Chain A
Amino acid sequence: MEEEKNKNKYSVIVPTYNERLNISIIVYLIFKHLRDVDFEIIVVDDGSPDGTQEIVKQLQQVYGEDRILLRPRAKKLGLGTAYIHGLKHASGNFVVIMDADLSHHPKYLPSFIKKQLETGASIVTGTRYVKGGGVHGWNLMRKLTSRGANVLAQTLLWPGVSDLTGSFRLYKKSVLEDVISCCVSKGYVFQMEMIVRASRKGYRIEEVPITFVDRVFGSSKLGGSEIVEYLKGLAYLLVTT
């Protein structure tokens, strides 16, 4: 009922690299869970050698080339620029960013949209650390580093958001364009920089619980160098925001 009044268009940007199976499942699940909403899916593929782009073309035959946009790049160029690249081709007034590895489930998209409509927020960010949210597939060490990193960031930055490094988010398109243009970090720190800068600029940020299922073992291993990068990122945000 609420969605009948919803005249917004949502552009879902999904950066991929070797996700030929996952991308088709993601697309199926997005269409399953977003029934009465105007949306498009923008796949930014960084030249995957496994044929991800062929699968996306097959999906275009099924769902329509106006609903699934393939906007590839020649080689792996990083996540931040993938968002900027996808953003250039987005025709919606809202943009959703999600990972292609199925750790972000499309069934949460309606709750992002509902939250935005209810609150008028500029950003709705998925959080794993509240009731209704959660993580699966992390060992004790991973939980420990995640918590340590979070307590440190909360104590030093006072961001007003419980999950800083999550990347399942809905943005007003103009807000994403504004925030992304001043972000320079990479990896985990990039997600943190986006939300901290948005918070400092005074944009309203709301949270919805999401679950995060880590299926690829080892993908989320955090080594010493990641921890050093994280601390550098924290220091960088302290002096620049």
Chain B
Amino acid sequence: MAASFSTFCFFLVEDWDPSFDVSEYFLIAHSMKHVVKILTLVVAVSAFWVALLQTSVIPPNQTWLLPIYFIVSLGCYGLLMVGIGVMRFPTCPQEALLLQQDIKEAKEYLKGRGIDVGSD
């Protein structure tokens, strides 16, 4: 966490513009490297988690487990998406047949024009 946070600060410094005003915010956000956007999200979520720990809105022994729940649900999301994707993978067997017809048609035409289509 400490390592990723220092990387985050490094990118912030790299993108830092001293003549900053609010209208330029979106420009800067646009020039942010993608990894910085993701780390910003991670930091924001971590801050929220730390706040939960500090204020004890829910029992701390449950709050401690939240990151594990988060990682597990992220993994489940990934597996679910891959599973659904494979099950509903669009296939097109009829296209293979159509292509064979097109190849035959092209070969006949090209042969008539004296082009060598004999061997693959």
* A interface residue numbers (CB < 8 A to B): 20-21, 24-25, 28-29, 54-55, 58-59, 62, 102, 105, 128-131, 133-138, 140, 143-144, 147-148, 150-152, 155-158, 200, 202, 211-213, 215, 237-241
Tally inter-chain residue pairs, CB-CB below 8 A.
Answer: 103
Contact assessment for A239 and B82 in the assembled complex, using a CB-CB cutoff below 8 Å: no
What's the dominant secondary structure at chain B's contact region?
helix
Q: Are A105 and B99 in contact (CB under 8 A)?
A: yes
Q: How far is the CB of A198 from chain B (nearest CB, A)?
A: 14
Contacting pair B86 A25 (CB below 8 A)? no
Min distance, Cβ A168 to any Cβ of chain B, angstroms? 14
Given A239-B35, A241-B34, 20 new contacts (CB under 8 A) = A20-B119, A21-B119, A29-B102, A102-B99, A128-B90, A133-B90, A135-B92, A137-B96, A138-B89, A144-B86, A147-B86, A151-B81, A151-B82, A152-B78, A156-B34, A156-B38, A157-B34, A211-B92, A215-B96, A215-B99
The residue that A151 contacts in the complex, of B34, B78, B91, with Cβ under 8 A, is: B78
Whether the pair B115, A147 counts as a contact (CB closer than 8 A) is no
Interface contact B106-A136, CB-CB below 8 Å? no
Are B90 and A130 in contact, CB atoms less than 8 angstroms apart?
Answer: yes
| CB pairs A–B below 8 angstroms (5 shown) | A54-B116, A129-B85, A130-B90, A135-B90, A158-B34
Tell me the bound Cα distance from A211 to B86 in angstroms. 16
**What is the CB-to-nearest-CB distance from A133 to chain B, in angstroms, rounded to a whole number?**
6
Q: Whole-angstrom distance between the alpha carbons of A237 and B120 in the complex?
A: 39
> B113: nearest residue on chain A (CB-CB)?
A62
Which B residues form the contact surface with A (CB < 8 A)?
Answer: 30, 33-35, 38, 78, 81-82, 85-86, 89-93, 95-96, 99, 102-103, 106-107, 109-110, 113-117, 119-120
Chain B residues, CB < 8 A from A213 = 92, 95-96, 99
CA distance A215 to B103 in the complex (A): 12
Shortest Cβ gap from A142 to chain B (Å): 10
User: For residue A130, which residues in chain B have a CB less than 8 angstroms away from its CB?
Assistant: 90
Which among B92, B110, B115 is the interface contact of A136 at CB below 8 angstroms?
B92
Q: Are B86 and A140 in contact (CB under 8 A)?
A: yes
Smallest Cβ distance from B86 to chain A, in angstroms?
Answer: 5
Which A residues lie within 8 Å of B117 (CB)? 21, 24-25
> Shortest Cβ distance from A117 into chain B, in angstroms?
25
Q: Are B82 and A55 in contact (CB under 8 A)?
A: no
Given A136-B91, A213-B95, A237-B34: A59 and B86 interface contact (C-beta under 8 Å):
no
